Amino acid sequence: MRAEKERLFKLRAEINEHNYLYHALNKPVLSDQAFDQLFAQLQAMEAQYPQWASADSPVQRIGAAPVASLQSVAHQVPMLSLDNIFSEADWLEVDRRIHRRWQADAAAITYVCEPKLDGLAISLRYVNGSLVRAATRGDGQQGEDVTHTLRTVANVPLQLRDPATQGGVGALPELLEVRGEVLIPRTTFATLQAAAVQRGEKPLANARNAAAGSVRQLDPKVAASRGLRFYAYAVAESSQELPGSQRELLTWLQGLGFSLAQEIHCVSGAQAVMQQFRQLGEQRAQLPYEIDGMVIKVDSLAGQALLGFVARAPRWAVAWKFPAEEVRSRLLNVVWQVGRTGALTPVAEVEPVEVGGVTVRHATLHNAAEIQRLGLHIGDTVVLYRAGDVIPKIDRVVVELRVPEAEPVVQPRCCPECGSDILQPEAEVVARCSGGLYCKAQRLEALVHFVSRRAMAIDGLGEKWLSQLLESGQVQQPADLYRLEKKALLTLERMGERLADKILGAVEKSKATTLPRFLYALGIRTVGEATALALARHFQDLENLLQADQHTLEEIPDVGPVTAAFILGFFHQDYNRRVMRELLQAGIHWPTMELVAHGAAGSMVITGTLSQLTREEARQLLLKMGLRVASAVSAKTRAVIVGTDPGSKYTEAQRLGIPVWSEADFLQVLRQHGLWPLN
Ligand code: IVH
């Protein structure tokens, strides 16, 4: 047994050492096959002797269970960012400033030039050499705990290498917090991208987003499949004294088992840094990972301490960013896409060109204002740039090359999907299709909203079912939901008897609603719950609302010109009116609004104990209806709400002839205002 235990621990140490040689030093001595054999042996042994298994073991990277959600983590030492610079002049100014503040008479300052890795910043905390926590940067003060996913990153040491026992210098620090960048290497990203496309999924925007998404996965197995890598570049906290320079610090980290970016150089003087920047720019396209510039750090840690920080960035380091890559192409056409919320987005179609190793055919244009700014004509020669993202942007038009037949690009007046009017209230940048319930592009979104809990509350009818119902043509608009038959529902994939009954029951139940809920469910742009309630309170019934003009609408608190325009635009469409009529014919109904007069309504008084809600909740709800709560009954009191064991306020109300509401009366009023049940 002892011999077995020794063998297991030796095997584990051996594998850790090979991982170190492979990942940290880039000098593997074993073939992949030989390594895999060792690994399999350890796996078998740990399975056989679970009593000796350890979370630090290299075979335990992936096994952890998914987490329910990401927990917030406070950074002991804040995670700062760097100031950006963009030119040689900027850099010379930074160098001068550093001289002034720190070494006015020194001939040259020693700098470490590191690639600016384009991933996301991560902090790794080690206690007694074991990885105990990994966190994202977040806002710099608070990040998210991503220990479960970072543990799966092949080159993150789970256990630090002890420099002393390995013939190095120094001992293992009791506490160490290391910072670095996690990213997906280029070739890995290309493979993931190809696989996603093959599965018919939307291509991932870029390697950085993919890395961020992978790190924030709840299931470590998913993260493990993304080929993430971690490169260390700083120490936030250490219980042990650190070496005297950034260069030595990095070497020390490497000795502890961390991988470093390959392209790190220590040079002397501002000119040499510029030389490094040019060189890194030339290497950029061949590097194994995406970088977006070069980070320049004062090498001396004493110098760093002396220079200190301004606001959220150090004075001893800057990020010199690469200019975005530019290419020219020709604008072939502009297509207008309608999003799920009706937003109209112009997309440029350009003659295919290569930018940064990717063939580009489309460019985003954001909105009509952007087109105006560019002065874009079809047929124009345009300058495109790509800033890391797969879809590039148009930077400018080469006006000198404009052909005489070039036509200006104009925003359509009608929705390209459904032909409804395009609305663009003044002061809004985004133009939208007013087709709401009618427009194909918006139907799913509209239905999902319609059935949602705070709208018609049709339980069990989620997006998955709605999109199937849309696809099969059984449902095109909300009123169709009230015509659904069980037979038809059962034709859906994975739909069973019980679920179908449940859905039909929920549809039936939703017919009894309130006016505010109904108005909210229609999904009129910018009409949220509060506005729906204000509209219902003001107009009291749908007919009055349908007849309102812009002016009347704008008089309502909570309704500005933009919202008024959207409301009118919505009711103006025949199709929307028809859907509303059909909904009412299907049996949707609501109690008439008990008018709680707005304006000078007087105040309410509560006495006794309410069983369904606290005093404070009651007070808040009354406030939402525009009613204040007073502590004493007077002639101006609107009504008194009476719970169990009421006090003298009850008798006072009776004496003054003031209306008395039981708790049930109160809840009924709340219900009519869409405020009950509480959500
Ligand atoms: S040092 C106190 N070194 O750039 C500054 N940062 O804007 C600590 N980054 O959030 C950062 N490569 O994610 C440093 N070699 C490198 C870096 C690097 C990429 C990122 C990092 C940070 C951002 C700063």
Q: What are the tens digits of pLDDT across the range 655-664?
A: 887 878 889 8
Q: Is the CB of 314 under 6 A from ligand 1?
A: yes
| Ligand 1 atom at minimal distance to the Cα of residue 309 | 2
Q: What is the phi/psi pair of residue 123, to 5°? A: -115, 130
The single-letter code of the amino acid at 74 is A
Of residues 563, 675, 676, the one with CA closest to residue 624: 675
**Which amino acid, 323?**
P
| 189 ligand 1 Cβ < 6 A | no
Q: Tell me what the mean pLDDT of segment 599-620 comes to.
A: 84
| Average pLDDT estimate for 6-20 | 93
User: What's residue 599's pLDDT?
Assistant: 40
Amino acid at 229: R
pLDDT band at 233 (very low <50, low <70, confident <90, very high): very high
Check pocket membership of 82 for ligand 1, CB cut-off 6 A.
Answer: yes
Instruction: Pick the range with the lowest mean pLDDT from 14-18, 124-128, 218-222, 533-537.
Output: 533-537
Residue 533 has phi, psi (to 5 degrees) of -65, -45
183 within ligand 1 shell (Cβ under 6 A) = no
The whole-number pLDDT of residue 664 equals 85
Distance (angstroms) between ligand 1 centre and the Cα of 64 equals 29
Please report the atom of ligand 1 found closest to the CA of residue 181.
Answer: 13
> How far is ligand 1, taken at its centre, from the CA of residue 65, in Å?
31
Beta-bridge partners for 384: 327, 394
CA distances to 525, 535, 584 from 529, rounded to whole Å, are 12, 10, 20
* Shortest-distance Cα residue to atom 17 of ligand 1: 116
Distance from C-alpha of 639 to C-alpha of 678, rounded to nearest angstrom: 22
Cα 23 to Cα 232: distance, rounded to the nearest angstrom:
12
**CB of 138 closer than 6 A to ligand 1?**
no
Q: Given the CA of residue 314, which atom of ligand 1 is nearest to it?
A: 2
Least confident of 195-199, 242-246, 480-484: 195-199
What percentage of the chain's residues is helix, strand, coil (to nearest 5)? 40, 20, 40
Which active-site residues does the annotation give?
Answer: 116
- Whether the pTM exceeds 0.75: the reply is no
**Which pair of structure tokens corresponds to residue 120?**
């996301």
- Please give the Cα distance from 149 to 630 (Å, whole number): 54
**Whether the predicted pLDDT of 388 surpasses 60:** no
58-114: pLDDT as tens digits: 988 887 888 989 999 999 999 999 999 999 999 999 999 999 999 888 889 999 999
Query: Quick one: angle between helices 88-101 and 270-283, nearest 10?
Result: 140
Do the beta carbons of residue 465 and residue 503 sit within 8 Å?
yes
For residue 525, the number of C-alpha atoms closer than 13 Å in the C-beta half-sphere is 28
On whether the CB atoms of residues 378 and 410 are closer than 8 A, the answer is no
Whether 613 shows a pLDDT value over 70: the answer reads yes
Place of tokens 């490094």: 276
- Cross-strand pairs, 74: 142
Sign (positive or negative) of CA dihedral 572, 573, 574, 578: negative
Task: Scan for tokens 């709340």, then name that residue.
Answer: 670
Task: Quickly tell me which residue has 């996690």 as its tokens.
Answer: 182
Q: Residue 167's pLDDT band (boundaries 50, 70, 90)?
A: low
Higher pLDDT, 171 or 526: 526
Give residue 597's pLDDT: 44
Ligand 1 atom 16, closest CA: 116
Percent of the chain with pLDDT over 90: 63
181 C-alpha to ligand 1 centroid (Å) = 7
319 C-beta closer than 6 A to ligand 1? yes
Residue nearest to atom 12 of ligand 1 (CA): 116
* Candidate ranges 146-150, 336-340, 350-354, 652-656; pick with highest mean pLDDT: 146-150
Asked whether 376 lines ligand 1 (CB < 6 A), one says: no
Q: Where are the beta strands (DSSP E) in 128-214?
A: 130-136, 142-144, 175-183
The pLDDT of residue 598: 43
Q: What is the spatial distance between Cα 330 and Cα 349, in angstroms, rounded to a whole number?
A: 9
Instruction: Identify the weakest region by mean pLDDT among 168-172, 238-242, 244-248, 619-623.
Output: 168-172
Best CA proximity match to 183, nearest among 255, 249, 232: 232
**Ligand 1 probe mutation, 75, 79, 85, 117, most atoms within 8 A of CB:** 117
The closest of 477, 437, 481 to 458, measured between CA atoms, is 481
